[in-house]
Structure 1
Amino acid sequence: MSEINSRTSPRRILNILEEILLDPENFTAKKIAHKLDIPLATIYRHIETLCDERFLIASNSKKYIPGPKIRNIILHSLPYEPNFTLRRSYLRKLTADIKETVSLSVPIGTKLVYFDRIEFHWPMQLNLEAGDHLPLHASASGKLYLSSIKKEDALEIFNNIKTPASAKNTIIEISQFKKELNKIKKQGYAFDDEEWFNGMVGLSIPITNEKNELCFCLSTHTAKSRKNIDDLKKILPLMLSTSKNLKKALFKD
């Protein structure tokens, strides 16, 4: 990077944003000022601008995390990633192998959003589209995501978003939900056993980054008349194998 370019305001802002997003847990303004050779006052001024524009938000722990604008940019950029064709080929193969619709979703704040989906054309199925939201407390992927964050935060989110039962097995008691999160965290995947809709079951597998942080959920759902939970357990190895391939495709440079 040339000295002239490194001192221009747009480049400085982008470099600061990159440093924060790559390692928010260890971020300090002093570290970035030293690493990028930028005055500390300038660092604070640019961070304030990024927060004002909602590219960053300050968390309760005084760390800066991606704001809604960054998350929306990421969500809308995913369909155009360089490995789009490779990623979809893995999803299509999994769909053909298990004979069910498969989906990829990403956490966006307190929501989980579908961003890719390959349909298996059964006459009866749940119609969800890219951009649709999943309930965190009642879907396999939602529960999987909550199991990946701090337990106290997950339970607070549950208390804030839980609604009257939408299906016969929807979990509405916090003690039961706590047990469910512990179980999911231990086994590494999650089921939906008629918790979102009556007559529907689902399975979700995490896709993590190099820091083992959940970034995507690979899931399938089906009518219980076609597959029950025991049947979903049988396709677990295929789901796990596909998740490993997708991880390589999604995080490939």
Structure 2
Amino acid sequence: MRDLMMATGETSNLGIERNGEVLFVSQVESHETIRTFFPPGASSPLHASGIGKALLSGFDEERFESFVRRTHLTSFTDKTIVNADRLREAVRQIRRQGYSFDDEERTTGMRCVAAFISNGYGEAVAGISISGPTPRLPDDRIREIGARVVEAAREVSRRLGAE
């Protein structure tokens, strides 16, 4: 996580799924004056966070559809995905590109790029991300940051026994 923070200049987060939400378990803060902060123990809805959407993309179809059926997709900003079909399309896009992108969906002015971490059985068990203010995460940096986050997730997954 520290390497990811140093490479991007932004805060790195680690989270797991718990009771339909992301539970943040660790963070390495950016050295920037303005930065994001998710203390260990904080939570966020899966549908409205980078790590959450990354984890959803690692769910099999049955588990994902179960989540969609039983979850009220609460709106936090005008960019929050609150429609099941839009969430399905977002998850398909995440699966294609390998990383999720939270574009001010939980908090106005904040963006996040995340990827899921898998265990030796190929299950999505955690997510790793970077997050920061929108001006420091412009559209033209997202692909490059996404590649770095994916590489970090692969390295942690490999250490957990994933192939």
TM-score in terms of structure 2 length: 0.87
Preserved CA contact (<8 Å) 1:201 1:229? no
Does 2:52 match 1:142? Answer: yes
Of Structure 1 and Structure 2, the greater strand share is in 2
Q: 1:205 aligns with which of 110, 115, 122?
A: 115
Q: Could you tell me how far 1:164 is from its partner in structure 2? A: 4.0
Give, as a single letter, the amino acid of the residue that structure 2 aligns with 1:116: S
Tell me the distance in 2 between the aligned counterparts of 1:166 and 1:112.
Answer: 15
Go from structure 1 to structure 2 and tell me whether the alpha carbon gap of 1:247 and 1:174 turns closer, same or farther (over 3 Å shift): closer
SS at match of 1:165: coil
Tell me the distance in 2 between the aligned counterparts of 1:134 and 1:204.
Answer: 14
Preserved CA contact (<8 Å) 1:137 1:162? no
Q: Could you tell me how far 1:198 is from its partner in structure 2? A: 1.3
Q: Could you tell me how far 1:136 is from its partner in structure 2? A: 0.6
Give, as a single letter, the amino acid of the residue that structure 1 aligns with 2:61: K
Q: Compare relative contact order (CA 8 Å, sep 6+) and give the higher one, 1 or 2.
A: 2
In the alignment, structure 2 segments of 5+ residues that lack a partner are none
Give, as a single letter, the amino acid of the residue that structure 1 aligns with 2:48: A
Q: Could you tell me how far 1:249 is from its partner in structure 2? A: 3.9
Q: Could you tell me how far 1:116 is from its partner in structure 2? A: 1.2
Tell me the distance in 2 between the aligned counterparts of 1:240 and 1:144.
Answer: 10
Of Structure 1 and Structure 2, the greater helix share is in 1
Preserved CA contact (<8 Å) 1:193 1:229? no
Does 2:55 match 1:181? Answer: no
Q: Which protein has the larger Cα radius of gyration, Structure 1 or Structure 2? A: 1
Go from structure 1 to structure 2 and tell me whether the alpha carbon gap of 1:161 and 1:122 turns closer, same or farther (over 3 Å shift): farther
Partner of 1:97: 7
SS at match of 1:172: coil
Give, as a single letter, the amino acid of the residue that structure 1 aligns with 2:79: N
Partner of 1:113: 23
Preserved CA contact (<8 Å) 2:58 2:116? no
Partner of 2:125: 215
In the alignment, structure 1 segments of 5+ residues that lack a partner are 1-90
Partner of 1:4: none
Preserved CA contact (<8 Å) 2:114 2:150? no
Q: Could you tell me how far 1:152 is from its partner in structure 2? A: 4.6
Q: Could you tell me how far 1:236 is from its partner in structure 2? A: 2.5
Identity percentage over the alignment?
Answer: 24
| Root-mean-square deviation over aligned CA pairs | 2.1
Q: 1:244 aligns with which of 140, 149, 154?
A: 154
Tell me the distance in 2 between the aligned counterparts of 1:245 and 1:157.
Answer: 28
Tell me the distance in 1 between the aligned counterparts of 2:147 and 2:57.
Answer: 21
- Per-residue displacement from partner, 1:168-223 (whole Å, max 9, x unpaired)? 21111112111112211222221111111111111111211222211111111111
Preserved CA contact (<8 Å) 2:73 2:81? no
Tell me the distance in 1 between the aligned counterparts of 2:74 and 2:25.
Answer: 27
Q: Could you tell me how far 1:155 is from its partner in structure 2? A: 3.8
Go from structure 1 to structure 2 and tell me whether the alpha carbon gap of 1:208 and 1:153 turns closer, same or farther (over 3 Å shift): closer
Q: How many pairs are equivalent?
A: 162
Tell me the distance in 2 between the aligned counterparts of 1:156 and 1:249.
Answer: 30
Tell me the distance in 2 between the aligned counterparts of 1:229 and 1:139.
Answer: 17
Tell me the distance in 1 between the aligned counterparts of 2:45 and 2:74.
Answer: 12
